[in-house]
């Protein structure tokens, strides 16, 4: 059983924006007739929905002794202290406090985050910043896996 698994899905309102993109494409192609208009509606809407789906498919998991965040896979032995960030600190750490060397799985629509120090001396990444709706639970999952190893 996995101690932690989260998918960072986009807000429902973003799906309405994707539908609106299809309608906008239909209106742009309106002067060319009904078939191009229909193609704009279907094609524009489908492309926008694919983009929304792709952006909202980011996952954060703690599995097999590793933290898997997006495309990154980091062994828990290489991780140090985890800091739960409240909404105010979340904004600060993704803006003026951010280190350009950090790994950031950032989703602006998620109000909280977890900052985990990277302790591996061979890794230039100072910390991992993860947008998460359950930062305390993720920190506990990392600690549980670290304690088990």
pLDDT of residue 140: 93
Specify the DSSP element, H or E, that contains 113. strand 113-118
Separation between Cα atoms, residue 47 and residue 50, nearest integer Å: 5
pLDDT of residue 2: 55
Domain ranges of the chain: 4-55, 64-148
User: Average pLDDT by consecutive 10-residue portion of the chain (149 residues)?
Assistant: 82 94 97 96 97 90 93 93 95 94 94 96 94 95 87
Residue 138 CB burial class (10 angstroms; 0-12, 13-18, ≥19): buried
How does DSSP assign 73-107, residue by residue? Answer: EEEGGGEEEEEEE-HHHHHHHTTTT--TTSEEE--
């Amino acid at each position: 059983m996995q101690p932690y698994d989260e998918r960072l899905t986009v807000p429902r309102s973003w799906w309405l924006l994707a539908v609106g993109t299809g309608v906008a494409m239909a209106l742009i192609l309106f002067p060319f007739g009904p078939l191009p208009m229909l193609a704009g509606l279907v094609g524009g809407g489908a492309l926008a929905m694919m983009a929304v789906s792709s952006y909202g498919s980011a996952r954060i998991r703690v599995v097999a002794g590793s933290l898997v965040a997006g495309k990154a896979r980091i062994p828990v032995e290489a991780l140090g202290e985890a800091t739960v960030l409240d909404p105010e600190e979340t904004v600060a750490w993704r803006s003026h406090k951010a280190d350009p060397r950090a790994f950031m799985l950032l989703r602006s629509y998620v109000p909280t985050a977890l900052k985990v120090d990277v302790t591996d001396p061979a890794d230039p990444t100072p910390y991992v910043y993860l947008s998460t709706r359950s930062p305390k639970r993720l920190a506990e999952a990392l600690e549980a896996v670290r304690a088990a190893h």
